[in-house]
Structure 1
Amino acid sequence: MSTEPRTVAVNVHVIKSLEIDESDCLAVMRHSVKMRTVDLLARLENLDEDYGDWDAERLAKELDDAGVKRTTRQVDIGGKNLAGYRREDLEAAVPAELLSAR
């Protein structure tokens, strides 16, 4: 995967990011309101093998650089509180008109 900034065209808008497209994360989360980081990384790798060498630290940096502001770093799933992401935090980084067009 290139370290050059890329431009991702979505409908008539353009989102600039470093190496991650927030829509990749939203796609793999589908109907989940929250997901553990390890599960999110595994699903991203299934989506695109270029994510295969990513770890939790890189994912956090890329999402932060893409404008994702986490309201919490821990998610409770099945009574276990582990590092993860909330879907609404990812959606907040995407312009509303793009979300409504999905």
Structure 2
Amino acid sequence: MSLIKAKAYYMRTGELRGKGVISSGASELVTVEGSPASRTVRLYHSRSGWLIQTQRSKPDGTFRFSGLNPDLLFKVEAYDDVGIHNAVVADFVKPVIPT
């Protein structure tokens, strides 16, 4: 199965979707030189590498991706849009279901 067909299958069957959430906590804020910052944050499906969602963190450095399957693993990448610093990556992140 080609990657395009596989991605269409996942999207059509809803296998990527669910009630899981990946969000920043107090220690996972997007920061630049130690200060919270608004930057591009991308979410990828770990196994396939597919880009699932893109957003901008809030000025306080927080971000939240929702509607995710809690049984899958994801990769979160935060980018310095100014181009001074390297991206920061968190791999094999598992969504949690909020209580």
TM range (shorter): under 0.3
More helix by share: 1
User: What TM-score do you get using the length of structure 2 for normalisation?
Assistant: 0.26
The structure with the larger Rg is 2
Q: TM-score, normalised by structure 1?
A: 0.25
